[in-house]
Amino acid sequence: MIDPAEVADRFGALRERLSRIGGDRVRVVAVAKAFGPDAVAAAMGLGIEDVGENFAQELLSKAACLESRGDRGRQPRWHFVGRLQRNKVRKLAGLVHLWQSVDRPDLAAEIARRAPGARVLVQVDIAGLGGRGGCPPESTAQMVEHCGQAGLDVAGLMAVGLPGPAEQVRPGFRLLASQAADLGLAEVSMGMSGDVEVAVEEGATMVRVGTALFGPRPA
């Protein structure tokens, strides 16, 4: 169960962490995966407008739940941040505000087909781990160009850090920010609960935070 007062306290602590390093203007995307619609409602109650999800089905069911609630069915700006299969794109197309995990041409093409002109971020595999999504850093420019040619609005780049000590990911974050700058892209989405400081120091414009807002994820 989500206690909105606890989420409020955690949000205050997060804002303080960001403030200490000059990150007051960094956008906080509340990642609600594994939590229910009440987590989304709690975040929205604090004025958080951006909510991230990793799984299509979770996003769809939470959106439907909000739709049927009070407050005129108000929705957050949904960010899709997880690995995405092409066959899920159609159902998400009317809901997603920012597709953050675009990492391959066939996915870009499907998003362009179902949501022409959609705003996207290209996900880059800064850790070189393969399995967590993202195109290899040497393909970033090509992927950005490909998305543009498909008619998508490429707003920036996104990356997932490494598990482990936050400092370890600094070079990867630095690389992502420098690639975005080289490509003239404004948005840099990096940093999660454990490494927001390093991410903001390296130029994040958007951090994606789950546990630091909602507490430990239910199994």
Ligand X SMILES: *Cc1c(COP(=O)(O)O)cnc(C)c1O
Tokens 């609630």 locate to 69
38, with CB counted inside 10 A (0-12, 13-18, 19+), is middle
CB 199 within 8 A of CB 14: no
* Pairwise CA distance, residues 140 & 136, whole Å: 7
Q: Please, what is the minimum distance in Å from the beta carbon of residue 183 to ligand X?
A: 21
* Pairwise CA distance, residues 14 & 16, whole Å: 5
Q: Please, what is the minimum distance in Å from the beta carbon of residue 17 to ligand X?
A: 12
- Residue nearest ligand X, CB atom distance: 210
Q: Please, what is the minimum distance in Å from the beta carbon of residue 211 to ligand X?
A: 4
CB 53 within 8 A of CB 31: yes
Nearer to ligand X, 144 or 213 (CB): 213
Q: Could you count the other beta carbons within 10 Å of the beta carbon of residue 18?
A: 21
Nearer to ligand X, 113 or 170 (CB): 170
Question: How far apart are the two ends of the chain, measured CA to CA in Å?
Answer: 13
CB 104 within 8 A of CB 83: no
Amino acid letter at 102?
A: V
Q: Please, what is the minimum distance in Å from the beta carbon of residue 82 to ligand X?
A: 6
Nearer to ligand X, 89 or 158 (CB): 158
CA distances from 192 to 52, 69, 71, 93, 212 (A): 12, 29, 29, 25, 8
Q: Please, what is the minimum distance in Å from the beta carbon of residue 56 to ligand X?
A: 14
Residues making contact with ligand X (CB under 6 A): 31, 33, 54, 81-82, 160, 192-194, 208-212
Nearer to ligand X, 97 or 113 (CB): 97
Q: Please, what is the minimum distance in Å from the beta carbon of residue 71 to ligand X?
A: 25
Nearer to ligand X, 110 or 195 (CB): 195
Nearer to ligand X, 37 or 210 (CB): 210
